[in-house]
Amino acid sequence: MENQLEHWQPPETAEAILEAAMQEFLENGYASTSMDRVAVAVGVSKATVYKYFQDKERLFTAAIQRFVREKLFNFQDLRSLQPQPSLTVPRLTINLLYRVIDDQQLVRFIVLILTESGRFPNLARVFVHDVEKVVIENITQYFKSGSGYQIRESEAAARVLIGTLVYFAIAQNLLYRSDIIPVEQEHLINSLVDFIRPLNNINDSQDLDNQRIKCPYCESGKFSKNGRKRGKQNYMCRDCGRQFVEYYSPKGYSDEVRKQCLLLYLNGMGFRAIERETGVNHNTIINWVKQAL
């Protein structure tokens, strides 16, 4: 489907009119904005405004389309972002989106679209198709491709992320919630990250049973903190570890054991249940989960 936005490039005077009109619409809404007020804001006659835009509805439509082109399409830059090794993919994306959405003009624009969607259904569709859809697709793709992480239900995670941040920005900036029930940015980000738990190099399509690490002696899945070492380190269960002391290694749990426990956690198993399943202490698992976020 082709981009629904028009690619008309207005002359300098029309550009100034659109800029002033957008400010008036954002500050006063559609009903309270008049062609006279726009003309005064630009410093031209009302006849000049009508020369380029025959009525307020056409002026509003053109102003919205211009705003979408110039401000909101910077979300497309997500495709060129490179994940930072020091940050998990969801945390990097959340920080980026927060900086974009924590913008008074952008917040008022979203409210304006929501308010006037009944009067201008086509503009609402343009917003959904050319803004919301693009943002969701870009964030979803970024989740899927970033730094080797596999985020379960990437599109759903992108929708939850965007919806939460948009509502937060509206509530904080327009409903004065920051004065009544303030929320620190870091707290919001941490809470969102809790909902988007990445697990490096784990493919959701793989069967959990096929990934389980088993004791080479008794096929048990209960891991010992120390294990036998033959070429590369493999891990035996607790019971067999007591019998084969000569194979003990002081290196602690391997990355494979850690990933196995994290995968069980992502599949809904509680910390104590994972401890019973694997033999790994639940406090160790809790620390692994915190480190993965």
Based on the domain organization, do 176 and 258 belong to the same domain? no
For residues 83 and 166, membership in a common domain is answered with yes
Question: Within a domain: residue 276?
Answer: yes
> Partners of 229 in the beta sheet?
233
User: Residue 30 gets which letter from DSSP?
Assistant: T
**3 within domain boundaries:** no
| The pLDDT of residue 9 | 44
- State the average pLDDT for the chain: 72
Q: State the pLDDT at residue 236.
A: 54
- Within its chain, how far is the Cα of 122 from the centroid? 27
Indicate if the pLDDT at residue 16 is higher than 80.
Answer: yes
214 in the same domain as 187 = no
In a domain, 96, yes or no: yes
Q: Do residues 182 and 259 share a domain?
A: no
pLDDT band at 150 (very low <50, low <70, confident <90, very high): low
Over residues 23-42, the pLDDT tens digits come to 999 998 888 899 999 999 99
3-state SS record for 139-159:
HHHHHHHHHHEECCCHHHHHH
189 or 247: whose pLDDT is higher?
Answer: 189
Predicted pLDDT at 4: 44
194: in domain: yes
Listed ranges 95-104, 221-230, 239-248; the one with the highest mean pLDDT: 95-104
In a domain, 7, yes or no: no
* Final residue in a domain of this structure, among 70, 87, 111: 70
Q: Per-residue confidence at 108, pLDDT binned at 50, 70, 90?
A: confident
- pLDDT tens for each residue of 153-183: 778 888 888 888 888 878 877 777 667 777 7
- The two three-digit tokens of residue 190, written as one number: 């941490």
| Whether residue 116 sits in one domain with residue 63 | no
Report yes or no: 158 and 144 within 8 Å, Cβ to Cβ: no
Long-range contacts of 151-158 (CB under 8 A, 24+ apart): 151/89, 151/90, 151/196, 151/197, 151/198, 152/197, 152/204, 152/266, 157/90, 157/195, 157/196
**Count of C-beta atoms within a 10 Å radius of residue 145:** 13
6 in a structural domain: no
Same domain, 242 and 133: no
> CA-based Rg of the chain, rounded to a whole angstrom?
27
pLDDT digits (tens, 9 = 90+) for 41-88: 999 999 999 999 999 989 998 998 888 777 665 555 555 555 554 456
Residue 1 lies in a domain: no
**Cβ 216 vs Cβ 228: under 8 Å:** yes
Q: Is the pLDDT of residue 122 over 50?
A: yes
The torsion defined by the Cα of 110, 114, 117 and 118, in degrees rounded to 10, comes to -160
Query: Helix crossing, 271-278 with 282-292: angle to 10°?
Result: 120
Question: Which residues make Cβ contacts (< 8 Å) with residue 118, sequence separation at least 6?
Answer: none
CATH code: domain of residue 29: 1.10.10.60
- DSSP, collapsed to helix, strand or coil, labels residue 195 as helix
Q: What is the largest CA-CA distance in the chain?
A: 95
Residue 134 and residue 194 share a domain:
yes
Domain that holds residue 277: 208-292
More confident residue, 193 or 233: 193
- Given its phi and psi angles, is residue 252 left (phi above 0), alpha (psi -120 to 50 degrees) or beta? left
Shared-domain flag, residues 105 and 191: yes
Q: How many domains does the chain have?
A: 3
Nearest one of 228, 221, 259 to 242, comparing CA atoms: 228
Question: Rounded to whole angstroms, how far apart are CA atoms 169 and 113?
Answer: 15
